[in-house]
């Protein structure tokens, strides 16, 4: 039975994941609808908790609180709803008529908007390793919105039993709108700001406007208009803030008196100071409305503008209201506020003109008008959010009127931005053409100079080539006229005459033998033999023959460098001998090139006899 295969053996069951692995998978999964719900609820809880902590700290530090901790919690819930643009209603009034509180501190609205935006963006993002895909845009958006509105509904129900009750119409319309827009921007940012959602929103516009904004080449122009409008809005709001600051300093005594009159304790003064800080963006928008011309309303039938100021007589004491200009007709100092919209219009026109260098003048004017429209829309929305009602009767209108601000901004943009854009476009075209012409001239000059230098170099090279050919022509003619054997005979005659004149006893001086130094190594080179045929052959007319290597010694330094090798007289004498031998072997320019070089005095052995002429013996003279 040992060779039988057991067919009934159980197969190994698949390994089931452990609890830790399941937890890891659940934790690493991309968040879905449930995670979006949790993220939205957490974002709402963070904003509500921050305001609750602030209100509770002020209530605890107050020496004479009007209510208990329940009243402070109700106030915190009401403030959280007010930050979302929900209008509150104050039921406890002297007249018994409920008074609305609709002025939303814009700085207070930044916290909930940022929290919703961040929650929606985090709900879409995939895990850190990038293994799990991101959540769908609609799923993440719906989860965050539902989670946030769930907490908001509970907060509204709780705040309804307090002194500041939310208006249910504003709660149903304002709170979902703010949350939906903030979550939508968060999801859009998480997906890399794609163009598809923006194009779908722009398709809701009329055909003419949609064609202008969604054309193949119109997108760039629309972006230029949006950037120009954004710069103009920033200049307007910044200028309005500057006007408020200057007026507050001018009316510093009234502002200090109003600040001290509201409360006496330090906790109350801290609360007033925080309220003033949160209302600074509102005051900047009010200042921009004042500079544009329409101004703002301080009560029904009481407007404040650069031409005339007529505030309501019974205004509550508040530090920011102390910066309101005095009642009466405007002065040149009030009219100087027109510098703000003028600067905004110039800025808008500059941006459009610089961005439209490749457009026509008509197209530049159209884009400047589009930028003015976008700027007017943005300022109108800001004016509507910065104002509201603070009561009934006279205080029913408090702040700038949005349609008046939008109309004035459009007029300033059309009257200033469009001409400036056209001027910048035309002048920019002139400057561009002048720069192009200057650059073309510079390139042309450089090219002409380079061509001239190249022609000079070519002419010089041709002249050198002609001169070398002219100098080589006589040598070539002389070599062809003299036979090789006769030239060899004539070349040997001076050598024989020199040997005849020299006595036999005369010998070349011997180099004294000196022991080599310890730090110098002598190495002997092997001499290359020279055959008679190679010596008698005429060399090339262009390439001079290379002298054969002589029997020489190389001075190789030892481990330590030699300070001065020429102090040794033997080495100097050997160097002189080698130099003389090299000079004797190198033919002179004027001498025939086929002459045999004289033997060096450093070579040992008898002097070879000259070759005998044809027809005669080896002895005798020619």
| pLDDT tens-digit series, residues 134-189 | 778 889 999 999 999 999 999 999 999 888 899 999 999 999 999 999 999 999 99
Cα–Cα distance for residue pair 221/367, rounded to 1 Å: 7
Q: How far apart are CA 395 and CA 386, in angstroms?
A: 15
Distance, C-alpha 177 to centroid of its chain? 36
CA angle 254, 259, 264 (to 5 degrees): 135
Residue 252: pLDDT band (50, 70, 90) is confident
As a whole number of angstroms, the distance between CA 373 and CA 376 comes to 5
Q: 486, exposed or middle or buried, with CB in 10 Å at 0-12, 13-18, 19+?
A: exposed
For residues 588-610, b (16+ Cβ closer than 10 Å) or e, as one string?
Answer: eeeebbbbbbeebebeeeeeeeb
**CB 279 within 8 Å of CB 105:** yes
Task: Please give the pLDDT value at position 496.
Answer: 46
The pairing of strands 296-298 and 88-90 is: unpaired
Per the prediction, the chain carries an average pLDDT of 76
pLDDT of residue 355: 79
In the prediction, which pLDDT does 195 show? 78
- Is the pLDDT at 598 greater than 70? The verdict is no
Is 360 in contact with 434 (CB distance < 8 Å)? no
Of 166, 171, 27, 190, the residue nearest 116 (C-alpha):
190
| Residue of 534, 545, 539, 536 whose CA lies nearest to 484 | 536
Which tops the pLDDT comparison, 460 or 435? Answer: 460
CA 108 – CA 84 distance, rounded (Å): 9
Report pLDDT for 596.
46
Chain mean position to CA 507: 86
As a whole-number percent, the residues of the chain with pLDDT over 90 amount to 31
Cβ-based neighbour number of residue 330 at 10 Å: 15
35-39, 323-327, 400-404, 559-563, range with the lowest pLDDT:
559-563
| Distances from the Cα of 96 to the Cα of 18, 116, 360, 492, angstroms | 68, 38, 64, 145
pLDDT tens-digit readout, 271-310: 889 999 999 999 999 999 999 999 998 887 788 889 888 8
Q: What is the pLDDT of residue 15?
A: 46
Asked if residues 372 and 410 have their Cβ atoms less than 8 Å apart, the reply is yes
pLDDT at 396: 83
Strongest mean pLDDT among 352-366, 478-492, 493-507: 352-366
Tens-digit pLDDT profile for residues 33-51: 888 899 999 999 999 999 9
At 463 the pLDDT is: 84
* Cβ 367 vs Cβ 224: under 8 Å: yes
Query: Once rounded to an integer, what is the mean pLDDT over residues 409-438?
Result: 81
Is pLDDT at 605 greater than 70 in this prediction?
A: no
pLDDT at residue 348 tops 90: yes
pLDDT of residue 17: 43
Neighbouring-strand partners of residue 555: 522
What are the DSSP E strand ranges found in 509-586?
520-524, 553-557
Query: What does the alpha-carbon distance between residue 324 and residue 308 come to, in Å, rounded to a whole number?
Result: 12
Euclidean distance between CA atoms 86 and 110, whole angstroms: 14
Residue bearing the bigger pLDDT, 20 or 434: 434
Cα-based distances in Å from 196 to 191, 206, 217: 11, 18, 17
CA angle 213, 219, 221 (to 5 degrees): 90
* Contact call for residues 50 and 79 (beta carbons, < 8 A): no
**Where do the H-state alpha helices sit in 263-417?**
266-278, 280-292, 332-335, 339-355, 361-386, 402-412
- Which pLDDT does position 438 carry in this prediction? 74
**d(C-alpha 173, C-alpha 598), whole Å:** 119
Taking the C-alpha atoms of residue 416 and residue 408, their distance in angstroms, rounded to an integer, is 12
**12-35 as b/e: b if 16+ CB within 10 A:** eeeeeeeeeeeeeeeeeebbebeb
Q: What is the dihedral of CA 17, 22, 28, 32, to 10 degrees?
A: 120
Report the range of poorest mean pLDDT among 162-176, 213-227, 247-261: 213-227
Q: How far apart are CA 347 and CA 343, in angstroms?
A: 6
> Per-residue confidence at 63, pLDDT binned at 50, 70, 90?
confident
Kind of pairing, strands 296-298 and 303-304?
antiparallel
Parallel, antiparallel, or unpaired: how do β-strands 398-399 and 328-329 relate? unpaired
Question: Which position has the token pair 């330090």?
Answer: 266
| Dist. CA 304–CA 399, nearest whole Å | 10
Q: What percentage of residues in the chain have a pLDDT greater than 70?
A: 69
Around Cβ 614, how many Cβ atoms within 10 Å?
Answer: 7
**C-alpha distances in angstroms, 168 versus 48, 87, 88, 165, 585?**
19, 9, 9, 9, 119
- pLDDT tens for 117-131 read 999 998 887 454 544
| Whether residue 618 has pLDDT greater than 80 | no
């Amino acid at each position: 039975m040992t060779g039988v295969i057991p067919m009934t053996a159980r197969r190994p069951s698949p390994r089931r994941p452990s609890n830790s692995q399941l937890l890891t998978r659940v934790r690493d999964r991309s968040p879905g609808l449930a995670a979006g719900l949790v993220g939205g609820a957490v974002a709402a809880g963070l904003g509500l908790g921050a305001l609750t902590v602030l209100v509770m700290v002020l209530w605890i530090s107050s020496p004479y609180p009007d209510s208990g901790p329940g009243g402070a919690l109700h106030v915190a819930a009401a403030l959280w709803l007010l930050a979302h643009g929900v209008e509150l209603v104050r039921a406890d009034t002297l007249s018994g008529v409920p008074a609305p509180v609709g002025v939303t501190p814009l700085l207070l609205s930044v916290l909930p908007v940022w929290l919703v935006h961040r929650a929606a963006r985090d709900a879409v993002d995939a895990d850190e390793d990038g293994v799990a895909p991101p959540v769908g845009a609609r799923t993440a958006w719906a989860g965050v919105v539902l989670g946030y509105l769930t907490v908001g509904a509970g907060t509204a129900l709780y705040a309804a039993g307090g002194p500041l009750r939310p208006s249910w119409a504003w709660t149903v319309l304002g709170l979902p709108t703010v949350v939906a827009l903030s979550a939508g921007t968060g999801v859009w940012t998480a997906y890399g700001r794609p163009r598809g959602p923006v194009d779908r929103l722009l398709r809701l516009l009329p055909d003419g406007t949609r064609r202008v904004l969604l054309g193949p080449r119109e997108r760039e122009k629309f972006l230029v208009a949006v950037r120009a409008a954004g710069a103009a809005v920033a200049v307007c709001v910044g200028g309005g803030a500057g006007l408020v600051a200057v007026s507050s300093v001018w009316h510093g005594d009234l502002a200090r008196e109003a600040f001290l009159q509201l409360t006496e304790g330090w906790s109350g003064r801290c609360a007033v100071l925080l309220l003033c800080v949160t209302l600074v963006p509102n005051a900047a928008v009010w200042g921009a409305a004042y500079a544009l011309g329409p101004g703002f309303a301080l009560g029904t039938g009481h407007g404040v503008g650069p031409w005339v100021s007529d505030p309501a007589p019974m205004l509550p004491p508040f530090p920011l209201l102390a910066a309101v200009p005095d009642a009466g007709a405007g002065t040149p100092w009030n009219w100087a506020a027109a510098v703000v919209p003028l600067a905004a219009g110039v800025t808008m026109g500059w941006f459009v003109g610089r961005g439209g260098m490749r457009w026509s003048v008509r197209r530049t004017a159209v884009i400047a008008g589009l930028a003015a429209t976008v700027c007017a829309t943005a300022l109108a929305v800001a004016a509507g959010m910065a104002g509201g009602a603070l009561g009934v009767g006279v205080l029913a209108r408090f702040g700038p009127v949005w349609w008046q601000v939008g109309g004035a901004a459009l007029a300033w943009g059309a009257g200033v931005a469009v001409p400036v854009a056209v001027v910048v476009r035309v002048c920019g075209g002139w400057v561009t053409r002048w720069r192009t012409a200057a650059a073309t001239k510079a390139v042309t000059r450089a090219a002409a100079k380079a061509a001239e230098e190249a022609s000079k170099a070519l002419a010089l090279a041709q002249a050198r080539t002609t001169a070398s050919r002219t100098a080589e022509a006589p040598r070539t003619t002389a070599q062809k006229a003299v036979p090789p054997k006769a030239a060899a005979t004539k070349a040997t005659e001076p050598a024989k005459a020199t040997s005849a004149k020299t006595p036999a006893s005369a010998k070349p001086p011997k180099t004294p033998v000196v022991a080599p130094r310890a730090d110098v190594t002598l190495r002997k080179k092997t001499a290359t033999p020279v055959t008679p045929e190679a010596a008698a052959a005429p060399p090339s007319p262009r390439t001079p023959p290379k002298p054969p290597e002589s029997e020489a010694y190389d001075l190789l330094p030892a481990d330590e460098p030699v300070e001065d090798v020429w102090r040794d007289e033997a080495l100097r004498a050997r160097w002189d001998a080698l130099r003389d031998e090299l000079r004797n072997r190198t033919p002179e320019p004027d001498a025939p090139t086929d002459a045999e070089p004289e033997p060096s005095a450093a070579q040992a052995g008898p002097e070879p006899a000259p070759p005998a002429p044809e027809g005669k013996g080896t002895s005798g003279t020619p």
